[in-house]
Each structure stands twice: as C-alpha cells, then as structure tokens.
Amino acid sequence: MAPDIRLGFAKTLKQSLMAYAFNVFGIVAGTLVAYYSGLFQRLPWAVVIYPPILSARGVIGGLFCGRLSTALHLGTVQPRFFGNTKSFYLLFQAIVFLTFEASLLMGLVAVLFRAIYFGMFTSELWDMVNVLMATMALALVVISPLTLTVSFLSFKHGLDPDIILYPVESTISDLLITVIYVSVLNLHVMRSSFLYFLFASSLALLFTSLYILARNIQEPEFTKTLKESLLTLLIVSFIINVAGTVLGRVDELIREKHEVYEAYPVYVVYPALIDTIGDVGSVVGSTATTKLALGTLKASFSSIKNHLTEVSGAWAASLVMYFAYSILALAIRGTLSLVKIAKFSLLLFTVNVLAAALIILVSYSVAIITYQKGLDPDNFEIPIESSLADTLTTISLFVALTFWTWVWIQPF
C-alpha cells in the first residue's frame, strides 16, 4: 500500500471512528425503545411508523448536511449563524418546507402500507399522521440548531464536514427524535388536552411551510431544491415503509421466540445499527460528491478505484463499532459473557457485511448518476442512501436473525 493511500485510509478511519462514536447514543435510543416496548404493544401501528420517522428526519438531515458540507467547501455558505449568505437562508427555509412535505408523504404512505398488510381502522389514519407530523415539527425546532453547530464548528476546527457532519448529526438526531416520539406517543395515549398540543404543533408546521413557499416560490435556487427533493421523498417514502413492515416481522419473530429476545437485544442496538450503515454510505457518498464538485473525481463507475481509501476506511470503522455495540448491549442487559459476545457479534457482523456492501455500491452510484444527469447530487445522495440504509439494515437484520436462530436452535 502506497504511503499516500495509507495516510488517506488512516485519516478516513480515524475521522470515521470519531464520528461513528456518537452512534453510542443510538444504544441509548434503542434502550428507550426497548423500555417502552409495552407502549408499542398498546399502539400496534407505533412500531411500524418508527422507521419512517427516523428516516424522514434522516432524509431532511441528510439533505441539509450534504448541501451544507459541500457549500462550506465551495464558500457559498459561511460558518456562522448570523449575517450568512442568501444561499444559506434559502436552504434553511427549504428544509422547513421539506420537513412538512416529508412528514405528510411518509405518513400517508405508512397508512397505505398498514392498510395493505395489516388492515386498519379509520381512526388510526388520523392518529398516525398527527403523531408523525407533531414529532417532525418538534424535531425541526430541536435538531436544526444542532446540525448548524456541528457543521460550523467542525469546519472551523479543520475537520472534514463530509466525514464528520452527517454521522454526528444523524446519531444525536435519532436519539432526540426517539425521545420526542416516545413523548408524543405518551401524550397521545393520555388524550385529554394534550391532543390539542399535538394538533397545534402540526398546524404550526403547516402554516409556516405555506408562508415560506409563498415567499420564495420565485427563487430559482429554492424551487430547484424542492423539485429535486420531491422525487427523492417519493422514492424514500416507499423504500422506508418496507423497513417499517420488515421491523414489524422482526418484532413478531422476537415475541414468538423468547430465547431470541434474551440472546439478541435487538431493540437496544437497532438505532445504532441503521445509523452506522447510513454513516458508511454518507462518508462514501458525501466525499464523492465533494470530489465531483471540485473536479478531483471523474463521473464514472470505474473511478471508484480512486475512492477506495474512503470506502475501506468508512467500512472498517463500522465493523469496529458493530463489535462495540454487541458488548454495550449485552452489558446493558446484564448478560455479558464471552460466548454471548461471540454469538451476538457474529450476528451483527453478518448484518454489517450484507448491508454495508450494498449501501456503498448504492451511495457511490447515486452520486455518479445524478452528477452525470446534471442534477445536484447533494439533493439525492444522503437522503436516498440513508433511507436505503435503514431498509437494507432492517432486512439484513431479519435475514441474519432468521439464519442464526435456525443454526442455534437451542436457547443459550
């Protein structure tokens, strides 16, 4: 391995591990989900729309992060909150409108999937959409300042926001949005006056979005972002609801076989697993889009050989983190032993190999194809790969669970 390649690999591995370390917060989110699993039993549709909520936030956060990191490199956005460029403010307002658009689309498609696969009472339709929109509205207020802070600080301190920004933002966002989602579900279950608060949050997002649309409808940069992102959202809405349906099957598998639940604390690690695969895709894709914008990478599939340091560094870091998750999850459950670490790690490595290999190919392909078509890759790259990462990881988890529970039939 040439010295410059070794240095590039080491740099990507180091910064990826630094960013992926924040995925430990995903373990906290997973522990919260496991703790409130009874709430999901009370509201069966709640577990089905959990992946779409994570992914809807991931789409918005991914687009925001991708555009911010590239703009910071190009100088079209300055690393400061006030007195920034027009492009920055148009981007931020587009993010607000897209939050409304994404929550509405995700909610409607989730309703469609639930009606097809599980059957649904009419009252559930309103409950699902209202809970999803209220969660997204509250998340926008809480998470957007975090995204800006991480992007500006990382850039000012000489770190590469293409590597740092999305992994950090996505993980902390998943923790925060899980807390918000569980809180909203609890308020929903309590009924009474709290329902008015949820409804008011949804209305606030609706009217703010309509105002922003009316104000900026003549701005080419704003409308370009909305048009290109709408296609992304439509694709993602269907992709991620597959993950929701598969997670429902994982939930059934776990509840049917208690020994599986005891051996594999799946809910504890689930947010961290999807975060990390999404992070692998974001590092590969975001660094590729920046190279394309700077002209240091040719827009061809064969040029992936010139991107292998980023690919290998990002993937190696994810394997390290998956091993760490197995230890942390078992420790939290109080079932830590060498045998269980070995078996749970083997399960998670199986998930990683299946999901990471696919997401790397998808992420790089999206960057190249959108660039070749004259589109802005940042409007497609992270949103598509993050939602696909959620779906691919969930499917890989189901496949790995099914396979290893078949191999190890006896409880352990």
Question: Is pLDDT at 132 greater than 70 in this prediction?
Answer: yes
C-alpha distances in angstroms, 212 versus 103, 107, 145, 203, 253?
17, 22, 19, 14, 45
Contact 174/271 with Cβ under 8 angstroms?
Answer: yes
Whether the CA torsion 312, 317, 322, 324 is positive or negative: it is positive
Distance CA 23, CA 36 (A): 20
Query: In the prediction, which pLDDT does 343 show?
Result: 87
Question: Is pLDDT at 1 greater than 60 in this prediction?
Answer: no
- Measure CA of the first residue to CA of the last residue in the chain; give whole Å: 43
Query: In the prediction, which pLDDT does 261 show?
Result: 57
Report which listed range, 7-21, 191-205, 339-353, 373-387, is most confident.
Answer: 339-353
**Whose structure tokens read 């960013």?**
19
Task: Cite the beta strand spans of 45-158 per DSSP E.
Answer: none
Confidence of residue 212 (pLDDT cuts 50, 70, 90): very high
pLDDT more than 90, % of the chain: 11
Residues 225-243: pLDDT tens digits? 888 777 777 777 777 666 6
Two tokens, residue 2: 């040439």
Query: In the prediction, which pLDDT does 359 show?
Result: 92
Distance CA 19, CA 174 (A): 14
Contact 140/61 with Cβ under 8 angstroms?
Answer: no
**Alpha helices for 191-265 (secondary structure H):** 194-216, 220-256, 258-263
- CA atoms within a 13 Å half-sphere pointing along the CA-CB vector of 349: 12
Distance CA 101, CA 56 (A): 10
At 7, is the secondary structure helix, strand, or coil? helix
> Phi/psi of residue 386, each to 5°?
-70, -40
C-alpha distances in angstroms, 318 versus 3, 268, 283, 308, 365?
23, 17, 11, 15, 20
- pLDDT (average), residues 43-57: 77
Contact 151/79 with Cβ under 8 angstroms?
Answer: yes
319's torsion region: left (phi>0), alpha (psi -120 to 50) or beta?
alpha
Neighbours of 87 (CB within 10 A): 16
Query: In the prediction, which pLDDT does 11 show?
Result: 80
Query: In the prediction, which pLDDT does 252 show?
Result: 64
Contact 272/397 with Cβ under 8 angstroms?
Answer: no
- pLDDT (average), residues 53-76: 79
Query: In the prediction, which pLDDT does 400 show?
Result: 87
Q: To which H or E segment does residue 66 belong? A: helix 44-74
Query: In the prediction, which pLDDT does 412 show?
Result: 43
333 CB burial (10 A radius; 0-12, 13-18, 19+):
middle
| pTM listed for this prediction | 0.69
Distance CA 84, CA 340 (A): 52
Range scoring the smallest mean pLDDT among 182-196, 323-337, 342-356: 182-196
Confidence of residue 355 (pLDDT cuts 50, 70, 90): very high
Beta carbons within 8 Å of 390's beta carbon, 6+ residues apart: 51, 54, 55, 58, 240, 243, 274, 278
Question: Is pLDDT at 321 greater than 90 in this prediction?
Answer: yes
Contact 315/360 with Cβ under 8 angstroms?
Answer: yes
Q: Measured in whole angstroms, how far is the alpha carbon of residue 13 from the centre of its chain?
A: 21
C-alpha distances in angstroms, 4 versus 8, 54, 160, 163?
6, 38, 18, 18
Q: What is the mean pLDDT of the chain?
A: 80
Question: Is pLDDT at 300 greater than 90 in this prediction?
Answer: no
Residues 385-409: pLDDT tens digits? 777 887 888 888 888 888 887 776 5
Question: Is pLDDT at 246 greater than 80 in this prediction?
Answer: no
Top pLDDT among 25 and 257 is at 25
Range scoring the smallest mean pLDDT among 72-81, 152-161, 315-324: 152-161
